[in-house]
C-alpha cells in the first residue's frame, strides 16, 4: 500500500513533469548529433554534451526561479520586459520569432530525408519535396488546425521508437563506435551550436512550473523534475548517436540518409513515417507559437502575420539556407545563446526579490555565472564566424 502511494507520488510529481521537459528538449536537434560526434571525435562530443547539459540544467532552474519570483504569469518576452525593460522585452520577442522561423526552415530541409526513406524509388527534386511539406504544414498553421490531432505524446512516442529501433540494430556493429576517433582538432568547435540547440527546453519551463501551481502544490517542487528532465536527454542522445554511428558506413548530416542500405526497407519506411509525423506536428506547433508571438507582442495585421510565418521559412531556404547542420548551428549558437544570456541577466535582477511561494535557486557562484555567459557568447561568435 505504502509502496503504491510512493510510486504514484513519484509518477505525478517527478516522472510526469520531468518527461514534459525532456520531451520538449528531444526534437529535431537530435539528428545533427551523430554527424558532429563522428567529425569532432567521441571525446569532443561527450565533453560538449556533458558540459552543456549542466549549463542548461542551471539555465532551466534560473528561468523557473524567475517565474516563481514573479507574481504575474507571462511569456518569455513578458519576463524580459519586467526585469530588463522594454528593450529587453522587444529583444526577447525578436529572438523568439526569428529563431522559430529558422527552426521551421531546418524542419523543411530535414523533411527531404524522411521523404526519401518513405519513397526511395520516386525521382523528385528536393525542392518539390520541401514544397509538399511546406504547403501542408503552412495550411495547418494558417487555418488554425489544432496540431492535426497529433499530440505531443505522439511526437515523444515516435522519437522514442526511432531511437529504440536504431539502437537495437546498431548493437551488432558497435565496434564501429569504438573505431571512431576520440578527438579531431580540425572540427573541435563543430558540435558547439548543434548541441546547444539540442539541449534547450526553455519553452517547457512555464508549463512545468504551472503544473505544480495547478495541482495546488509548492512550485519549488519543480526543482527536481527540472534537473531530471534537463539531464535525461543527454542519455537518450548517446543511445541514438552510438546507434547511428554503428549502423552508418558514413554518417550523414541528417543521420537518417546514411541508413539507406543498412536497414531493411520496411524499417526505413517506418522510420520515415514516424519522422515525418514528428516533424509535421512540431512544424505546426512552432508555426502557431510564432503567430501568437507576433499577434500579442507586435500586433501586426493577421494577414501579414500569416505571410511572415508561412513565407519566411521557404524564403530562407531559397535564400541559400539549405544545410540542416548550418541551420541548427545558427539557431543554437545565436538565438539559443541570446536567450540564455537574457535569462541569466533576468535572474540576476529577479533574485533580489523575495518570492512568497518559495525560491528554486537561491544563489550561484559568480564564476559559474561568468562561465555560463562565456558559453553562450562563444556560441554566438562561432555561429557568426
Q: What is the CATH number of the domain that holds 89?
A: 1.20.1740.10
Cα–Cα dist 52/48, whole Å: 6
Tell me, yes or no, whether 172 lies in a domain.
yes
Tell me, yes or no, whether 1 lies in a domain.
no
Cell triple for residue 88? 529587453
Report whether 96 contacts 377 (CB < 8 A).
no
Q: What is the mean pLDDT of each run of 10 residues along the chain (385 residues)?
A: 59 81 85 93 95 96 92 85 91 90 93 88 81 87 54 65 81 78 89 94 86 74 90 92 87 85 83 82 80 73 80 92 92 94 94 72 89 93 86
Give residue 347's domain range: 13-384
Tell me, yes or no, whether 281 lies in a domain.
yes
Q: pTM higher than 0.85 for the full model?
A: yes
Tell me, yes or no, whether 54 lies in a domain.
yes
Instruction: Find all residues with CB under 8 Å of 361, minimum gap 6, and list them.
Output: 58, 61, 62, 64, 65, 347, 351
Report whether 189 contacts 380 (CB < 8 A).
no
Tell me, yes or no, whether 6 lies in a domain.
no
**126-142 and 302-319 are packed helices; what angle lies between their axes, rounded to 10 degrees?**
160
Cα–Cα dist 264/273, whole Å: 15
Tell me which DSSP letter residue 13 carries.
I
pLDDT of residue 272: 86
pLDDT of residue 148: 44
Tell me, yes or no, whether 3 lies in a domain.
no
pLDDT of residue 194: 94
Alpha-carbon torsion angle 233, 238, 241, 246, nearest 10: -150
How many domains, the chain? 1
**Within 13 A of 276's CA, how many CA atoms are on the CB side?**
21
Tell me, yes or no, whether 4 lies in a domain.
no
Report whether 199 contacts 58 (CB < 8 A).
no
Tell me, yes or no, whether 369 lies in a domain.
yes
pLDDT of residue 341: 96
Amino acid at each position: 500500500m505504502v509502496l503504491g502511494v510512493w510510486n504514484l507520488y513519484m509518477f505525478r510529481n517527478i516522472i510526469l513533469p520531468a518527461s514534459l521537459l525532456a520531451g520538449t528538449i528531444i526534437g529535431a536537434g537530435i539528428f545533427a548529433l551523430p554527424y558532429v560526434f563522428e567529425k569532432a571525435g567521441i571525446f569532443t562530443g561527450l565533453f560538449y554534451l556533458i558540459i552543456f547539459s549542466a549549463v542548461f540544467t542551471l539555465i532551466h532552474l534560473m528561468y523557473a526561479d524567475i517565474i516563481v519570483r514573479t507574481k504575474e504569469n507571462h511569456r518569455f518576452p513578458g519576463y524580459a520586459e519586467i526585469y530588463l525593460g522594454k528593450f529587453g522585452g522587444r529583444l526577447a520577442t525578436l529572438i523568439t520569432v526569428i529563431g522559430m522561423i529558422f527552426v521551421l526552415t531546418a524542419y523543411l530541409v530535414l523533411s527531404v530525408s524522411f521523404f526519401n526513406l518513405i519513397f526511395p524509388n520516386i525521382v523528385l527534386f528536393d525542392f518539390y519535396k520541401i514544397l509538399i511539406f511546406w504547403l501542408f504544414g503552412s495550411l495547418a498553421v494558417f487555418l488554425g488546425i489544432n496540431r492535426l490531432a497529433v499530440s505531443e505524446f505522439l511526437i515523444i512516442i515516435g522519437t522514442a521508437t526511432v531511437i529504440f529501433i536504431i539502437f537495437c540494430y546498431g548493437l551488432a556493429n558497435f565496434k564501429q563506435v569504438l573505431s571512431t576517433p576520440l578527438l579531431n582538432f580540425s572540427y573541435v568547435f563543430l558540435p558547439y551550436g548543434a548541441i546547444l540547440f539540442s539541449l534547450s527546453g526553455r519553452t517547457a519551463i512555464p508549463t512545468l512550473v504551472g503544473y505544480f501551481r495547478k495541482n495546488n502544490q509548492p512550485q519549488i517542487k519543480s526543482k527536481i523534475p527540472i534537473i531530471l528532465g534537463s539531464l535525461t536527454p543527454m542519455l537518450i542522445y548517446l543511445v541514438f548517436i552510438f546507434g547511428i554511428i554503428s549502423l552508418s558506413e558514413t554518417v550523414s548530416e541528417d543521420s537518417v540518409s546514411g541508413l539507406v542500405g543498412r536497414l531493411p526497407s520496411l524499417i526505413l519506411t517506418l522510420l520515415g513515417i514516424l519522422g515525418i509525423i514528428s516533424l509535421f506536428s512540431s512544424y505546426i506547433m512552432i508555426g502557431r507559437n510564432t503567430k501568437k508571438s507576433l499577434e500579442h507582442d507586435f500586433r501586426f495585421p493577421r494577414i501579414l502575420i500569416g505571410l511572415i510565418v508561412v513565407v519566411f521559412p521557404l524564403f530562407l531556404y531559397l535564400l541559400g539556407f539549405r544545410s540542416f547542420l548550418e541551420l541548427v548551428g545558427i539557431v543554437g549558437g545565436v538565438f539559443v545563446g541570446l536567450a540564455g544570456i537574457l535569462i541569466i541577466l533576468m535572474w540576476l535582477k529577479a533574485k533580489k526579490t523575495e518570492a512568497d511561494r518559495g525560491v528554486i535557486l537561491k544563489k550561484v557562484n559568480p564564476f559559474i555565472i561568468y562561465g555560463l555567459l562565456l558559453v553562450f557568447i562563444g556560441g554566438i561568435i562561432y555561429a557568426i564566424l
